[in-house]
Structure 1
């Protein structure tokens, strides 16, 4: 595949502005920054939002905890989504390490004898709104072929060892060490022809977090 930066909008090396660990202070800073961005005085924003000048001053200085209704009113007056006012808050971010050989062996729908799944990490509820499930999948000479899978989200495969033909929809892809495959997992998919065993590959599944 030819390298292209088209559509890649994130700079993975960019460092975000310093985050605030106090929620009230973080909200206040966002309100003040957005007010100034719109070139509004405190009195202007108070008049537009219906929040008193005194209350607004306390919010911007982080000395009170505004109600959700007040935050929503200010967000509307500042013409930003509600969540924007929380964007400067430093939340705890999850991180899991799994040492070599310690991935939890697990069953997934469609697992057959000789198909071994090792879950390499899992973060539950998180701030991204996305669930990520990385698996190390091993197919041995005892393996029989899969029924095809279908599930929501996206899936990324990276071939480590062996050789298989992997089905996605009505297409077959030859997968050898170093090959990768990224696809919409709502289409029927799965390893169809096991050509060189044992075979091992990484499968990383992402899908929206449920409420």
Structure 2
């Protein structure tokens, strides 16, 4: 008999992930293995004994599948359930880099290196300016699919990623999984300008 325990309960064991984010990660893995085995959505749904509509919602991270459904999907895909939970189980850390030089040319090389390393991704760059007046309006904590790179062009601020806070200043950078809630916490200068680059997998 299928278990009625949903993956929402699994989120409590994954620091920094809420149930919605967990659903998205599991959906990505299901879709990845389906494509890897060159199985159509219709074929996988039939093999797993679920409707095509349900499979579509699982892959898009819209619904939380039961453990029984995950078991059926894992058998149809010929992978262990742990494979579908792999991304959720992985430690989701950020890479914080302090500026080591005041040379503008050397700082630029850090940005170029980060951009060139996202082959296969759609890149969305933004220049953001934060002040004490617009911080609350423009710096809402967000969560989005992809990898984000933050580079401080000018100023100082504290930046949150999950349950960690990073004290950032001009020349510092932070690269992290954007599915984890993130955003500016406190400004330590009157104005902060930063480059924000969101890289999204074109296949997702």
TM range (shorter): 0.3 to 0.5
TM-score where L is the length of structure 2: 0.39
In terms of fraction of residues, the more helix-rich structure is 2
TM-score where L is the length of structure 1: 0.38
Higher RCO structure, 1 or 2 (CA under 8 Å, sep 6+): 2
Q: Based on CA coordinates, which of the two structures has the bigger radius of gyration?
A: 1
